[in-house]
Amino acid sequence: MPAGKGMWIWAPPRLPGSLPTANQPSATPQQSVASIHSPSDFARALLAALGDPNTGPNVEAIDAWQAAEGGFVHLNPLNTTQAEPGATIWNSLGVRTYPDWKTAVKATTQTLRNGLYPGILAALKTGNNALAVAHAVGASPWGTGNFSSVLGHTYAPVVNGTDLPAVDALVAKAQSAGLDYVVVLLGSTDASFTQQGFLDAFLPAAHAANIRVYGADIPGLADLNADIARAVSEVTYTTSDQDRIDGLVADLDPPAGATPPLPAAQDYGTGLRTAVGPNFPLVAAVPVPSVPAPPPPASVYPYQRVVSSFDAVAVVDASSSPGSQDLGPAMAALAPFGKPLIAVDQASLPLTPPPPTPAPGSTPADPARDQVLAFMKAAEDTQASSASFWSWETASQSVFDAVQSVPQFSLPAAPAPISPNAVRDWQTLLAGLGFAAPISGQWDRPTVAAIKAYQQIAAIPATGVVDDTTRTTMLTPFAPPLPPALLASSLAVPGGVVGPGGAAAPLPIQYLKGGSVDQGVDYAAPGGTPLFAMGSGTIIQEGISGFGPNAPVLQITSGPLAGRTVYYGHAGPDLVPVGAHVVQGQQISIVGYGIVGVSTGPHLEIGFAPLGRLGAGQSMLDYINSIVPSIGR
């Protein structure tokens, strides 16, 4: 389970080449409000609503604007005060929290069009100058100020005068802040699992820096099989360096006004635990309990049953109270469930307007730093096993500096005199490594026994003391155990098959060369070669005249090919039945052995359904040729 200090990266950076350049439209002309999970997603949705160019400079400008405002986690990235149905007042300035992204985009659009912001609209209409947008915002009555200094540096801060690549910058910043782990959003019911390219670059670098990486997923819980399959694909995804995520966080905090997710959330947890086995770390992210609980039974979140299959609970606290006074009662309400508790500060940073300019010679006030210090102290006082911050995108450098400087959750050598909470940190880490000790806060006999058991397995002198060698070894990430049958199953997504944005190839890359066009595209491949889903969707048919009795037909519902239907001709035995939901990159069949259907030998014909005339496969060939460079291997 996560131990120490962490940060949530809720919008992993786009890798080089994935952001459109000046005057070049994005590959996705319009962003659906149903699939907003990052600041860039919101930027594209807002540009579409305004009718402005969806270009790199515009997206860069709105991303930086959101970083300066910090309202993304409240579904109000630019902190507008526009009243809308279902909105609630978030702070004393009248900033709203919106019930959904559709409302958030609408409210922001209406605010920009209320006649007070012609300069911002004119700069966005041009579409080729992020600096002009920043200057226009600074000159307007919006209140953000000029954010031009942070343009382009959300994920690639200047280090020694040089812009580091995005992934290297993330790892360097995490190390300098003393982070023990990060939590990265990998997928959701709306957006599928689309971060394989990011994991290929980030996982090896983070692990080499002794930083654990926990994936996060947002299940919609309407289709449990699909949600579990997607989570399993995230858990089993393996990079070419054989790195996998160190655990999974399931975001089970229902949207505002939604019914508590039972029995769906309980069934989801049970099914996911069954799939990944007893030893893979699973964390449930839940809302802060209302203390006392609201009287109507239907409105009470069913914590005990929801978290029963998880190893730890992340308490997502959006508190704006000084010192997070409401965190203590909330943690106390969850403590009886016997799970390690991770305190997550979801409040925007800073929460208060900038203070007046200090007098000469005095120390300037820093609300962001003060909030971090208060939250870490509150987390320790409430016996949290870990403290973390949401989110990386909205945290200032002052926040990272404060996280680095605080003594709490630092995992010092033991059992030299350390605080009870530091003991709990070690006990939590031991449990996450598979050597359970009671989370008691006392360096007792069970804790010493767990340390000795770990040291014996790690071939370290079994002293029961966490010396420097033991500490370094325990903090080194390793691949969490997964059932061998799961890693060999059709749900396990092999590395390199899925590229950024969810583009998935039907065959291993080495076979996608040349291609002969007829109704589809023919690719020669040996019998038994795996066939992969080119997008998430449903198998609607198996068997096509002339293409063999097993040829699967996949109706794609998300990813770059959403709305299209793809057939796999000359396939061998299928791995999933008709009606099954699959995720992009999941193996669904194999190339048939020998002669299958009208054929001269083992090969795949991949094409769009319904079948077209000879030459109709050119569009499929063009698509595959366009995605192969982004997938790589």
Q: Average pLDDT in the 465-470 region?
A: 88
**What's the distance, CA 456 to chain centroid?**
35
Average pLDDT, the chain: 80
Question: What CATH architecture is 165-408?
Answer: Alpha-Beta Barrel (3.20)
- Whole-angstrom distance, CA of residue 53 vs CA of residue 44: 9
Q: Average pLDDT in the 113-123 region?
A: 95
Q: Average pLDDT in the 216-237 region?
A: 87
Q: What is the pLDDT of residues 327-383, one digit of tens each?
A: 888 888 898 998 889 999 875 544 444 555 556 665 566 777 888 888 888 888 888
Q: Hey, how many other C-beta atoms are within 10 angstroms of the C-beta on 383?
A: 18
Nearest to 278 by CA among 431, 172, 132: 431
Q: Average pLDDT in the 28-33 region?
A: 45
Nearest to 422 by CA among 440, 432, 434, 408: 408
Strand, helix or coil at 372? helix
pLDDT for position 632? 52
Residue span(s) of the chain under CATH 2.70.70.10 come to: 496-631
Residue span(s) of the chain under CATH 1.10.101 come to: 412-474
Question: What CATH architecture is 412-474?
Answer: Orthogonal Bundle (1.10)
| Structure tokens that stand for 37 in this block | 């999970």
Identify whether the C-beta of residue 503 lies closer than 8 Å to the C-beta of residue 630: yes
Q: What is the pLDDT of residues 479-491, one digit of tens each?
A: 777 887 776 665 6
**Does 73 or 470 have the greater pLDDT score?**
470
Find residue 556's DSSP bridge partners.
537
Q: Average pLDDT in the 461-484 region?
A: 84
Strand, helix or coil at 612? coil
Q: Which helix (H) or strand (E) holds 170?
A: helix 166-176
- Full DSSP string of 91-131: STT--EE-SSHHHHHHHHHHHHTSSS-HHHHHHHHH-S-HH
Q: Which helix (H) or strand (E) holds 587?
A: strand 587-590
The amino acid at 117:
Y
* Residue 285 confidence (pLDDT) above 60: yes
Residue span(s) of the chain under CATH 3.20.20.80 come to: 165-408
Q: Average pLDDT in the 459-463 region?
A: 88
Strand, helix or coil at 148? helix
496-631: which CATH topology? Glucose Permease (Domain IIA) (2.70.70)
